């Protein structure tokens, strides 16, 4: 049985400095590059803080994914290489992969790929969505209304085996959210005792979610965070574990749904000593970071 063990999870909100309302085409590239360096600093500080207690020689991969970072950081261009190189220079940890193709469901497709690799076990995963540069479509979309931005860092141990703990899919009709809920319900019915951490959406989708899962679904945080792309279910998981420490003894189901129709879900086992943390600003200086990450 292929299991997914979560050992630590961290979320940092993105700072408002990344949300300057100026159209990208009117901005000098030097400003974009300066903002990128701030981003690299923030990511590297979080990586160092989250891995300070770990033996990094035991990790087989660090991977990254994004829905709403910037078209400049697509999968195959100079900024992609710059991103990976600068993170390595500042943190000593190099993301070996960075994908955007599956949007909010990127993390699920990365898990499937990594579980199929014979030598992959301990991994770090970055889910990064920062509005760099400013795009109005990233700030607000009719499908999910307000966007939220930030960085999620996952420390996972993957055990190879049948992929019954992981669901990947793509909707085929205009009623994509209905298809997503049906797919997740079919998957979740295999694990009837587990709660679900779902993507954050406005009221209309929340009503459909409640009809499908009732109290099994963790509280939606859209009003507080907006829709945070692939980070939504991990934020929900963090908030759940902070509110109820006894929940650390139970597995959970995390799920994401993308505007392009991709979706994913995973049965996630929680390490008995799982580390859970969050902070309010990705640009927070190192001197304030330790006290904020709780």
Structure confidence by residue, pLDDT tens digits, 46-87:
999 999 999 999 999 999 999 877 666 766 677 788 888 999
pLDDT at 27: 55
pLDDT at 119: 81
User: Which band of pLDDT confidence, cut at 50, 70 and 90, is reported for residue 293?
Assistant: very low
pLDDT at 233: 98
Please give the average per-residue pLDDT across 237-248, as a whole number: 95
Write out pLDDT tens, residues 141-187. 888 999 999 999 999 999 877 789 999 999 998 889 999 999 999 99
Average pLDDT, the chain: 87
Q: What is the 3-state secondary structure (H, E, C) of the chain?
A: CCEEEEEEEEEEECCHHHHCCCCHHHCCHHHHHHHHHHHHHHHHHHHHHHHCCCCHHHCCEEEEECCCCCHHHCCCCHHHHHHHHHHHHHHCCCCCEEECCCHHHHHHHHHHHHHCCCCCCEEEEEEEECCCCCCHHHHEECCCEEECCEEEEEEEEEECCCCCCEEEEECCCCCHHHHHHHHHHHHHCCCCCCEEECCCCCHHHHHHHHHHHHHHECCCCHHHHCECHHHHHHHHHHHHHHHCHHHHHCCEEEEEECCCCEEEEEEEEEEEEEEEEEECCCCCCHHHHHHHCC
Domains (range + CATH), the chain: 3-163 (3.40.47.10), 166-272 (3.40.47.10)
User: For residue 39, is pLDDT > 60?
Assistant: yes
């Amino acid at each position: 049985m292929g299991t997914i063990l979560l050992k630590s999870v961290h979320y940092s909100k993105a700072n408002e400095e990344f949300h300057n309302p100026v159209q990208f085409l009117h901005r000098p590239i030097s400003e974009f590059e300066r903002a990128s360096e701030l981003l690299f600093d923030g990511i590297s500080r979080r990586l160092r803080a989250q891995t300070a207690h770990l033996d990094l020689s035991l990790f087989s991969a660090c991977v990254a994914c994004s829905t709403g970072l910037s078209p400049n950081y697509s999968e195959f261009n100079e900024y992609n290489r710059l991103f990976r190189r600068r993170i390595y220079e500042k943190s000593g940890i190099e993301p070996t992969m960075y994908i955007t193709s599956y949007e909010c469901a990127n993390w699920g497709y990365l898990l499937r790929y990594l579980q199929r690799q014979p030598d992959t076990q301990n991994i770090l995963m970055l889910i990064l969505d920062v509005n760099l540069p400013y795009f109005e479509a990233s700030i607000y979309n009719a499908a999910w209304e307000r966007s939220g931005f930030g960085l999620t860092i996952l420390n996972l141990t993957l055990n190879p085996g049948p992929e019954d703990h992981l669901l990947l899919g793509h909707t085929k009709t205009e009623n994509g959210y209905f298809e997503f809920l049906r797919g997740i319900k079919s998957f979740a019915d295999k694990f009837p005792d587990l709660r679900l951490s779902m993507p954050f959406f406005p009221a209309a989708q929340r009503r459909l979610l409640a009809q499908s899962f009732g109290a099994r679904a963790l509280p939606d945080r859209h009003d507080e965070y907006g829709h945070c792309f692939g980070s939504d279910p991990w934020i929900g998981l963090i908030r759940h574990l902070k509110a109820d420490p006894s929940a650390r003894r139970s597995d959970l189901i995390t799920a994401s749904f993308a505007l392009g129709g991709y979706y994913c879900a995973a049965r996630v086992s929680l390490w008995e000593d799982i580390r859970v943390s969050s902070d309010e600003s990705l640009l927070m200086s190192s001197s304030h970071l330790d006290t904020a990450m709780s």
